[in-house]
Copies of this chain bind each other. A is one copy, B any other.
Amino acid sequence: MAVWNRTAERARALAAVGAEVQASAREALTAAPLVIVCVSATEDVRHLLEEASSEPFDGLALLNMTSGTPEDGRDLRNWAQAHGVAYLDAAIGAYPEQLGTRAARILVAGDEALFRTHQELILEIAGSSMYVGADHGAANAIDCALTGAFYISSLVSFIEAVRFVHEFGVSHDVLSDLSSYSVSVLDHQMKLALDRVARNDFTTDQATLNVYADAVATFAAGLEGRGDALMVQAATRVLRQAVDAGLGDQDIAAAVTLRPSAPGESARTN
């Protein structure tokens, strides 16, 4: 394995475990069949490559693990296409200390054949890695959506929930038991929601969006006076938008069909 870092001593630290330290980015770019880059921002990836060579990069295969937005992935793909670079965009779904283990996961987007060519190497770096789609924005989009919009939001919602029961003297064991139960119901409902989205069928004979919208407003009222309840208030607004868009008689997953609304414009469905 060939390594290079803008701060030379960081690369040299890897010589001890057998990495061949390269003297420049240009040398690193031609030292291996797959070049993996991970810097601060997507803009830096482009600068680095353009500084390293004024020639086209024919034959260079690049896997970019730099954090970014979906647009960053798509922009760098456009640049790569114009510069003869075969390009995969990745999002790292792991803590640094997990890398090299089976638990670590890197999401990879771009040409699937290119991914399969380098799959073995990628799995060595992160054993639970996955190919997620041909759109070069897909890895960052999933990261933003699942890690950001879902995971962090849910964790914050849970912490808000725990804050609210604090004054009622509920024991740790009871809360832990009920929390596990809530998560298992959530897991089940998420699977049902994904199936409905895949079938594009949001009919239900169980709780409708109207029922959820009423319930969440009642729950929010029950929490009043115990802090700002920002998460449940946001959920109330989303469900109200969905009801206003005419989805009230459908399953809650129908909210997935709400489309982006411009400022001042109300949400609409497809």
Binding site for B on A (CB under 8 A): 67-70, 93, 95, 105, 107, 109, 128, 130-135, 137-138, 140-166, 168-172, 174-183, 185-187, 189-191, 193-195, 197-198, 206-207, 212, 215-216, 218-223, 225-235, 237-239, 241, 252-253, 255-261, 267
Contacts and interface: CB of A to CB of B under 8 A. Distances in A.
A161 to B, nearest CB: 4
Identical chains in the assembly? 2
Q: Is the interface of A mostly helix, strand, loop or mixed?
A: helix
B142 A256 contact: no
A158 B168 CA distance: 29
Contacts of A162: 145, 193-194, 197, 253, 256
A65 B153 CA distance: 31
Nearest to A144: B222
Contact of A260 (B95, B146, B227, B237): B227
Given A176-B194, A230-B234, A155 B186 contact: yes
Closest 10 CB pairs of A and B: A148-B219, A144-B222, A234-B234, A69-B222, A145-B161, A154-B154, A153-B157, A150-B161, A149-B161, A227-B260
A224 to B, nearest CB: 8
A169 B256 contact: no
A227 B165 contact: no
A57 to B, nearest CB: 26
Contact of A223 (B148, B169, B197): B148
Given A148-B222, A149-B232, A255 B159 contact: yes
Given A145-B161, A151-B185, A152-B215, 18 more contacts: A70-B168, A107-B178, A138-B165, A138-B169, A145-B165, A146-B179, A148-B216, A149-B161, A149-B231, A149-B232, A150-B161, A158-B186, A162-B193, A163-B257, A172-B195, A179-B190, A179-B191, A231-B235
